[in-house]
Chains A and B, each alone.
Chain A
Amino acid sequence: MEGRSHSVTLEVEKCKGCTTCIRYCPTEAIRVRGGRARINSDLCIDCGQCIRVCPNHAKQAVFDQLQDSMGRFKYKVALPAPTLYGQFNNLDDIDFVLAGLLEMGFDAVFEVARAAEIVSDYSRKLMETRALTYPVISSACPAVVRLIRSRFPSLCTHVMSIKSPMHVAAALARTEAMEKTGLARDEIGIFFISPCPAKVTDAREPIGSMSSEVDCVVSVANIYKPLLLRMNKLKDGDPRHLASSGIMGISWATSGGEASALLEEKYLAADGIENVIKVLEELEDDKLSDISFIELNACPGGCVGGASTLENPFVAKARIQMLRRFLPVSRNKYEEREVPPHIVDWHFPLDEQPTEALAEDISEAMRKMQEIERLTAELPGLDCGACGAPSCEALARDVVAGRAKENACLFVLKHKLGELFEDAATDALTDAEEDKK
């Protein structure tokens, strides 16, 4: 488990050790030690929350750099996430974005929204079999899937065991490129343009399969400027008909888009990691038996709220809404012919990876819990974060695990120092009195 790769890193010189991030981390994975934030990689789910809240922009997502990566391949395919379309002002045709990508040096584009329509169709058929564990949870947001695996392991069986549109798009794009060019697999580069850091981890260590067809992940924020420059140089009537997705596909960028594409009204869509956690708690308590499908997005508003986007999620959502006006419902060409299941299905089921247990043995865990409760009662209960842990209880847990000292708490330290001073003062007084005598 140790050393699991993550996409979030810290720019040490920018981190002031201010403790903002530790409070917002939904899995309490961050501690400030020695004046800077450290992430416990066993607990991090790549949700990007710390990147979003850091006032010093010290938290960064590690993406591939476009210039470095482009030269590695003979033929390059861009896979824009539909969120990209919501970043531009006055855009009325997706073809401008796609043509701009070609101008940047990509040889082809494969819209992730197109794959989303294939995934929607596939999920609809799966839902019709009624052979799943209901309510079914979407597997599209990798941060949510990682959260379920670690904090809600009993819900693993509810997660739909299919790949996200990004992986499906990558597999289909590579096959198309190989057929068209006759090049070998590794001569073709598949570039996903991502709204969030979770997709970087998901491309490197995909859930449910051994490897991904995605070669590089670049962020929407990084590609924005060079892409905008190329788009501005395009003339009216310039863009060819490149777009191959409809309303269903691009709606995946916003919360509720995936669920509504299932044409199933008994769905629930929640976005923002705190809301996602609330829904999972309810599901765990068996309170959602009247729901068939649950769409969960870690970011506020859905993928448009991703930590690596530029535009405010509400504005991006409105723009995507406007772009939908001129689109057909779906342009899924796979509706007539079957999608090969191995392209979409996970190769193995989601495994439980609980992270909350204090010890493997219950009696040992009880002993630790007792110790944590005793320590917590001694702490001030202010959850001020000054010790570098998100709460007094978290500090107590760290102390019991041997990862921190109790006097990391300023109040405990002050108390101990006070005692020391008092002792020293009493000693000094006694000495002085004895001297007098």
Chain B
Amino acid sequence: MNKRLHYVIDGDDFTSAGQASGDVKKVLKTLGVPSEIVRKASIAMYEGEINMVIHADGGVIDVDIMPDRIVMALKDSGPGIPNVEEAMQAGFSTAPDTIRNLGFGAGMGLPNMKKYTDSMEIDTKVGVGTTITMTVKIV
């Protein structure tokens, strides 16, 4: 048995950014997933969700919770990432000042997503969009 969750992320609404990851956190706690794993998964998803709002004008997130792992797929039709290697470096940021003034865009999004997950795949094409698939192991 598994638990599937689907979210549509609004790219224009900063006030609701983080709602999807907040919901996933609640579901994981209710399912009795160990607290450290809940924390890792929800931080990684929160970073991804914020990235979608900042860079890609929103997108969709599918979360598949299985007894042994959590798979989170974040799909957008944004600008794509021209240089993944560069984007993965801590501190690298293309966020405009307006976003930085809100406390985002510190260039820790992708590095944190990688840090808090057991595996992360980035499928991106400039001008087409980005799909990031992250897996966090439960056992």
Contacts and interface: CB of A to CB of B under 8 A. Distances in A.
Interface of A: 151, 153-154, 281, 284-286, 352, 354, 356-363, 365-367, 369-370
A351 to B, nearest CB: 12
Contacts of A356: 29-30, 32
Contact of A284 (B2, B25, B31, B33): B25
6 contacts: A285-B22, A354-B35, A359-B32, A362-B31, A369-B3, A370-B3
Given A285-B46, A357-B29, A370-B3, 12 more contacts: A154-B35, A154-B38, A284-B25, A285-B21, A285-B43, A354-B29, A357-B30, A362-B138, A365-B30, A365-B32, A367-B1, A369-B31
A284 B35 CA distance: 10
A363 B1 contact: yes
B36 interface: yes
Contacts of A366: 1-3, 31, 65, 67
Contacts of B138: 362
Chain A to chain B: the 9 pairs with minimum beta-carbon distance, closest first: A357-B32, A154-B35, A153-B35, A154-B39, A365-B31, A356-B29, A362-B67, A286-B43, A366-B1
Given A284-B25, A369-B3, A357 B31 contact: yes
A352 B29 CA distance: 13
B18 interface: yes
Contacts, number: 60
Contacts of A352: 35
Given A154-B36, A369-B3, A284 B42 contact: yes
B27 interface: yes
Contacts of B112: 286
A393 to B, nearest CB: 10
A154 B58 CA distance: 30
Contacts of A357: 29-32
A281 B22 contact: yes
B38 to A, nearest CB: 7
A281 B67 CA distance: 24
A284 B40 CA distance: 9
Nearest to B38: A154
B29 A285 contact: no
* Max chain A C-beta neighbours (<10 A), residue from B27, B30, B36: B30
A151 to B, nearest CB: 8
B24 to A, nearest CB: 11
A367 B112 CA distance: 32
B69 to A, nearest CB: 11
A362 B68 CA distance: 9
Given A284-B42, A285-B42, A369-B27, A358 B35 contact: no
Nearest to A355: B29
Nearest to B21: A285
B33 A362 contact: yes
A103 to B, nearest CB: 51
A370 B138 CA distance: 20
Given A362-B138, A366-B2, A366-B31, A285 B18 contact: yes
A342 B95 CA distance: 50
A369 B30 contact: yes
Interface string B49-61: 0000000000000
A274 B118 CA distance: 34
Interface in B1-46: 1-3, 18, 21-22, 25, 27, 29-33, 35-36, 38-39, 42-43, 46
Contacts of B32: 354, 356-362, 365
Contacts of A359: 32
A303 to B, nearest CB: 29
